Amino acid sequence: MSDIDVLVIGSGIAGLSAAIAARQAGAESVIIAEAAGGIGGASRLSSGLIVGAGTAMQATAGIADSAELMFRDYMNANQWGLDGGVTRRLAAESGPTIDWLVSLGAEFHPTPVSGGYETQPRCAVAIDEGQGLIDALARAARNLDIDVALGQRVDRLLVKDGVVVGAAVGDDELSASAVIIASGGFGSNPEKIAEFYPSLAKAGDWLWYVGEDGSHGDAIDLGQQVGARITGHDTGCSMLAPGFTRSHETYLPGWLVIVDPDGQRFIAENAHYSALDRQAVLRGGRFFVLFDSQALDPEAAKATPFYAGGSKAYPGRTERTSPNWNPDILREMVAAGRIPFADSIAELAVAVGVPDDQLEATIAEYNEGAQAGLDRMGKYPEFLRPLEKSPFYAAEIRLSEIVITGTGLQIDPEARVLDALGCPIPGLFAAGEATGGVIWPFYPSSGSSLGHGAAFGRVAGTNAAARSIAGA
């Protein structure tokens, strides 16, 4: 006889969704073990965008969408390299999950938005961002008498005859009919970043994580104890940043010109952050951005928009100033010697160690396209600001800001954790950032992380409850 029906490890959107779903599916006793001193994990720090296809909000807004369209978008974005069964289940559950969140009291702005390159706008935007979602789920959990044990970092799974039968915190053991791992990623663990996200480890002391300080990769440690398959190596969501501040900035200003160490452009600078991330990984993660004196002039800087759609603000978000690329910060960094400058592009190339002939050719071609309003890389015309007013500046940027880690436990469409042979480990489920390979290597859209966390949290909770009721 188990002490409880379902034990959930972690209290972010995946863990809370799992616990609530388990209670709604008939589990009588559900406990959440949370390592931190408060609930919410990295989810509470998020922007609160969550992806779902075929939602009531979309229908009200006149947006025709479906799970099939979302499935194709995700698969196409990743060149059909995703687990098709898991992706199809995610797409099928995504819309009903957002409607379920609304039924639990989560509040969203009425009109879904586009979060990337999806075929239909399917991002629901939470009022009060990630904290608003967590607050609603926490209230629902309290109403269902779900206990949350704070400051309890689970360090061991209990196993009997190959079946996971509970977990332990030090010498304190708790048996459960099913265990759900929803403990998040490993963005604050340098050792795990070096092992599982080496593309970001290259950033060295520039590296930082926007999420929860307690994101140490417990899911991987727990899974390895029971022979779980770890998947999604060297994937995640990261941002290119100059290292001036440790302020999260999702998009680079579109008017910057990005070149690689050979002095060549490789992408339209106004591309979605997931596209920049992926292309930067493939090219080594270290680049330079070029601009001229206009960027340091407060009046001239206003002439060109920073982000697609103006401020790149979603409903309920206020107009914001770039924390890294505003004139005040740029002048400060120039004065501090952080940004080299020169009177010519050739001299600037020498200053940063880029081939001068190639950089001159690159900027000449860019300027010609900017004057014509047609960029070779396809940058939107509104961002085409020629580099023509000396002095010219070059700031180094690196893939250095970790937003989400993508390596974790492999699951099947029922959110069951798989072993090294691809077989389900009895009694063990997982959801959210604790899992790997669900939405990687190309992050399909803003809101995908919260979307798969909530959707597979529900799947895991429902199936864990069924296991408990069946007396397994």
Other beta carbons within 10 angstroms of residue 406's beta carbon come to: 25
For the chain, the average pLDDT equals: 93
List the CATH number of the domain containing 295: 3.90.700.10
pLDDT value, residue 222: 98
Checking if the pLDDT of 167 tops 90, the result is: yes
Checking if the pLDDT of 156 tops 60, the result is: yes
Question: What pLDDT digit, counting tens, does each position of 330-372 carry?
Answer: 999 999 999 999 999 999 999 999 999 999 999 999 999 999 9
Regarding whether 127 and 107 lie in a shared domain, the answer is yes
Regarding whether 124 and 184 lie in a shared domain, the answer is yes
**Whole-number Å distance between alpha carbons of 414 and 427:** 12
Other beta carbons within 10 angstroms of residue 469's beta carbon come to: 14
Regarding whether 200 and 147 lie in a shared domain, the answer is yes
pLDDT band at 310 (very low <50, low <70, confident <90, very high): very low
pLDDT value, residue 312: 47
Phi, psi of 281 (to 5 degrees): -60, -45
Residue with tokens 């609530």: 20
| pTM of the predicted structure, to 2 decimals | 0.94
Find all residues with CB under 8 Å of 233, minimum gap 6, and list them. 196, 407, 436
Question: What pLDDT digit, counting tens, does each position of 235-244 carry?
Answer: 999 999 999 9
Regarding whether 242 and 222 lie in a shared domain, the answer is no
Regarding whether 431 and 378 lie in a shared domain, the answer is no
Asked if residue 178 lies in contact with residue 427, where contact means CB atoms within 8 angstroms, the answer is: yes
Asked if residue 36 lies in contact with residue 214, where contact means CB atoms within 8 angstroms, the answer is: yes
Regarding whether 125 and 98 lie in a shared domain, the answer is yes
Regarding whether 222 and 171 lie in a shared domain, the answer is yes
Asked if residue 157 lies in contact with residue 225, where contact means CB atoms within 8 angstroms, the answer is: yes
**Whole-number Å distance between alpha carbons of 459 and 443:** 21
Regarding whether 434 and 365 lie in a shared domain, the answer is no
**Structural domain of residue 348, as residue ranges?**
238-401
**Whole-number Å distance between alpha carbons of 9 and 398:** 34
Question: What pLDDT digit, counting tens, does each position of 5-50 carry?
Answer: 999 999 999 999 999 999 999 999 999 999 999 999 999 988 899 9
Total tally of structural domains belonging to the chain: 2
For the chain, the 3-state helix, strand and coil shares in percent, each to the nearest 5, are: 35, 20, 40
Regarding whether 336 and 228 lie in a shared domain, the answer is no
Regarding whether 81 and 156 lie in a shared domain, the answer is yes
Which helix (H) or strand (E) element contains residue 358?
helix 356-372
Of 124, 193, 146, 171, which is closest to residue 11 (Cα–Cα)? Answer: 146
Residue that is last in its domain, among 373, 401, 429: 401
Asked if residue 159 lies in contact with residue 226, where contact means CB atoms within 8 angstroms, the answer is: yes
**Whole-number Å distance between alpha carbons of 34 and 326:** 39
Residue that is last in its domain, among 372, 401, 430: 401
Residue with tokens 């103006």: 310
